[in-house]
Structure 1
Amino acid sequence: MFESLSSSTRNVVAVLKVAIPVAVGLASAVYLGKKMAAQSGSSDFSRDKTIPTVAIRAGDQSHDAEYNEDPDKFLQKCEKQYGQVFNLLILNQRVTCVSGPTLVRDIFMTDDLNFSDALNQLTGLHAFMASIRKSNKDADNRMPHELIKDAISPNMAEFTPRIVSCAERVISGAMGGSNEVVIDHLGYVIQEIIASAMADVYMGSELEKDRKVIDAFIMCNYDFGMMLAFNSGRSFWHSIKNKFKYNVRSPLHKHVQALVDVATPVLERRSQLKAEALRQGKEYSPPTDVLQAMVDNAAKYGYVDLEDICGHILILVLASVHTTNLFTTHALYYMAAYPQYIEPMFEEVQEVLNEQAKEREEQRQEQLASGNVSSMAAFLGTELDPQNDRQLSEKAVRKLQKIDSFVRETMRYQNTRLFGTHLARRDTVLSNGMKITKGSRVIGNVTSVHFSEELQGEEPFEFRPWRFVGKGKGASKAAVDLLPFGIGRHACPGRFLAVNEIKIVCALIVTKFSKLEIKEKEKTMDMLLDRLGYVNPPSPIIMTRREGSILQSPAPVAI
Structure 2
Amino acid sequence: MIGLVSSYPNAASFDIIKAALPIGVGIASAVYLTAKAAANAGYGTDKSVPTVSLRPGDSTHDKEYREDQDAFVKRCEEECGPTFHLYLFNKFMTVLSGPQIREVFLNESFSASDALDDFTNMNTFLDSMKKSNKNDDLRIVHDLVRDNISPNLPLFTPRIVSQLEVNLEREMATFPEKEGRKLVEEPLKVLQEMSAYVSLTDYLYRSVATVFMGFEVAKSRKVIDTFIVASIDFGRVLGNNRRSVPTWRSYWARANYAILNPLQVHVQTLVEAATPIILERRRLEAEAIEKGVQWDRPDDIMQRLLDNFDKYGFVDLEDVCGHLLILILVSVHTTSDTSTNLLYYLAAFPQHMDKLYAEQQEVLDAIQQEREKERQELAQKGEPMRDDLDPTHDRDLSAAAIKRMVHMDSFVREAFRFRTERLILAHRARKDITLSSGVKITKGHTVIVNVRSMHQGPEQGDEVDEFRPWRFVGKPKSATKVGTDFLPFGMGKHACPGRFIAIQELKTIGVLMVSKFSKIEIQDPSKTKQALLVNLGEPCITGLMFTSRQ
Place the TM-score, normalised by the shorter chain, in its bin. 0.7 to 0.9
Whether 1:448 aligns to 2:453 is: yes
Distance across 1 between alignment mates of 2:410 and 2:542:
25
Q: Give the match for residue 186 of structure 1.
A: 187
Please state how far the C-alpha of 1:408 moved relative to its aligned partner: 0.5
Structural RMSD (CA): 2.0
Higher mean displacement: 458-467 or 310-319: 310-319
Alignment-mate amino acid for residue 498 of structure 2: G
What is the TM-score normalised by the length of structure 1?
Answer: 0.86
Unaligned runs of 5+ in 2: 1-32, 194-202
Distance across 2 between alignment mates of 1:171 and 1:389:
21
For the 8 Å contact 1:526–1:535, the answer to whether it is kept is no
Q: Give the match for residue 152 of structure 1.
A: 149
Structure possessing the higher radius of gyration over alpha carbons: 2
Q: Give the match for residue 307 of structure 1.
A: 318
Q: Give the match for residue 10 of structure 1.
A: none
Deviations 1:286-337 (A, max 9, x none): 1111100000000111111111001111111232111111111111100000
Q: Give the match for residue 126 of structure 2.
A: 129
- Identity of counterpart residues, as a percentage? 45
Please state how far the C-alpha of 1:207 moved relative to its aligned partner: 2.6
Superposition pairs for residues 200-215 of structure 1, below 5 Å?
200-215=210-225
Distance across 1 between alignment mates of 2:38 and 2:444:
13
For the 8 Å contact 2:429–2:444, the answer to whether it is kept is yes
Please state how far the C-alpha of 1:234 moved relative to its aligned partner: 3.9
Distance across 2 between alignment mates of 1:290 and 1:313:
8
For the 8 Å contact 1:216–1:255, the answer to whether it is kept is yes
Find the residue that maps to 1:423 and give its secondary structure. strand
Distance across 2 between alignment mates of 1:544 and 1:227:
36
Distance across 2 between alignment mates of 1:60 and 1:304:
51
Please state how far the C-alpha of 1:439 moved relative to its aligned partner: 1.3
Alignment-mate amino acid for residue 92 of structure 1: N
Distance across 1 between alignment mates of 2:534 and 2:548:
27
Q: Give the match for residue 27 of structure 1.
A: none
Whether 1:542 aligns to 2:545 is: yes
For the 8 Å contact 1:53–1:87, the answer to whether it is kept is yes
Deviations 1:228-262 (A, max 9, x none): 54586741112222222222121210111111111
Higher mean displacement: 386-395 or 134-143: 134-143
For the 8 Å contact 1:527–1:534, the answer to whether it is kept is no
For the 8 Å contact 2:37–2:92, the answer to whether it is kept is no
Whether 1:525 aligns to 2:526 is: no
Q: Give the match for residue 475 of structure 2.
A: 471
Superposition pairs for residues 370-409 of structure 1, below 5 Å?
370-373=381-384, 382-409=387-414
Please state how far the C-alpha of 1:215 moved relative to its aligned partner: 1.9
Find the residue that maps to 1:96 and give its secondary structure. strand
Find the residue that maps to 2:137 and give its secondary structure. coil
What is the TM-score normalised by the length of structure 2?
Answer: 0.87
Find the residue that maps to 1:320 and give its secondary structure. helix
Aligned with 1:457 (options 442, 457, 461):
461
Distance across 2 between alignment mates of 1:137 and 1:48:
34
Cα distance change, pair 131–67 in 1 and its aligned pair in 2 (3 A): closer
Whether 1:414 aligns to 2:419 is: yes
Task: Give the structure with the higher percent helix.
Answer: 2
Q: Give the match for residue 6 of structure 2.
A: none
For the 8 Å contact 2:350–2:519, the answer to whether it is kept is yes
Distance across 1 between alignment mates of 2:218 and 2:510:
21
Alignment-mate amino acid for residue 63 of structure 2: A
Whether 1:437 aligns to 2:442 is: yes
**Which runs of at least 4 in structure 1 moved beyond 6 Å after TM superposition?**
37-40
Distance across 2 between alignment mates of 1:498 and 1:228:
18
Distance across 1 between alignment mates of 2:281 and 2:411:
41
Distance across 2 between alignment mates of 1:479 and 1:209:
39
For the 8 Å contact 1:43–1:93, the answer to whether it is kept is no
For the 8 Å contact 1:164–1:504, the answer to whether it is kept is yes
Aligned with 1:80 (options 74, 78, 83):
78
Please state how far the C-alpha of 1:60 moved relative to its aligned partner: 2.2
For the 8 Å contact 1:87–1:94, the answer to whether it is kept is yes
Unaligned runs of 5+ in 1: 1-33, 548-559
Q: Taking CA–CA contacts closer than 8 Å with sequence separation of 6 or more, which of the two structures ends up with the larger relative contact order?
A: 1
For the 8 Å contact 1:43–1:95, the answer to whether it is kept is no
Superposition pairs for residues 245-394 of structure 1, below 5 Å?
245-373=256-384, 382-394=387-399
Aligned with 1:243 (options 236, 251, 254):
254
Distance across 2 between alignment mates of 1:143 and 1:68:
34
Find the residue that maps to 1:276 and give its secondary structure. helix
Distance across 2 between alignment mates of 1:499 and 1:234:
31
Q: Give the match for residue 48 of structure 1.
A: 46
Alignment-mate amino acid for residue 549 of structure 2: R
For the 8 Å contact 1:429–1:436, the answer to whether it is kept is yes
